[in-house]
Amino acid sequence: MVKQGLTAALVAVSVAACGSVTRGTSELIAFTSEPPGAAVATTTNRFCPATPCSLDVPRSEEFDATFTKPGFRPETVPVRTRVVGTGAAGFAGNVLAGGVIGMGVDAYTGAAMDHTPNPVAVTLVPDALPRAERTRRRRGKPEV
């Protein structure tokens, strides 16, 4: 009975010390565009109807975000994960307090990770150049 209680206490300490508890397993990612009002769709089936907006995304999830707006070319940005700052400290803290269990939980949930870039910002390009710009480019005249 005492052995089971000690085991439960050790597991509780290991899980409480890990980054999953201190940082959470998800992260809020902001999306902005110039001009504003672009829809954002990710390769993980998440969606924002119009920028600026934010999505709560699991820390372990990497994806591509595609911005679309009528009259503009679509723009895709890869969003990846990496171990940074407090995530690395939380993961390292497992060595002292959380042990192998805490490290395993952090690795599985991605709690030691942050998304990059965050915020995800794009400048959308119009579908067609203005008429004067097209004419200049055809004639080979330098832009002013």
The two structure tokens encoding residue 42: 């990710």
Is 97:21 a contact under the CB 8 Å cutoff?
Answer: no
> What are the helix (H) ranges across 18-130?
19-22, 85-93, 99-109
What is the distance between the alpha carbons of residues 59 and 82, in angstroms, rounded to a whole number?
9
Phi, psi of 47 (to 5 degrees): -150, 140
Indicate whether this model's pTM tops 0.75: no
Domains of the chain: which residue ranges? 2-128
From 37, 43, 44, select the one nearest 68 (Cα to Cα).
37
pLDDT tens digits in sequence order for the chain, 144 residues long: 555 544 444 444 444 444 444 567 899 999 999 999 999 999 999 999 999 999 999 988 999 999 999 999 999 999 999 886 544 444 455 444 444 445 555 555 656 788 899 999 999 999 986 666 655 656 665 555
Residues with Cβ within 8 Å of 122's Cβ and at least 6 positions away in sequence, in order, are 32, 33, 34, 38, 67, 75, 77
**How many Cα atoms are found within 13 Å in the side-chain-facing hemisphere of 94?**
24
What is the distance between the alpha carbons of residues 14 and 101, in angstroms, rounded to a whole number?
6
What is the distance between the alpha carbons of residues 17 and 101, in angstroms, rounded to a whole number?
10
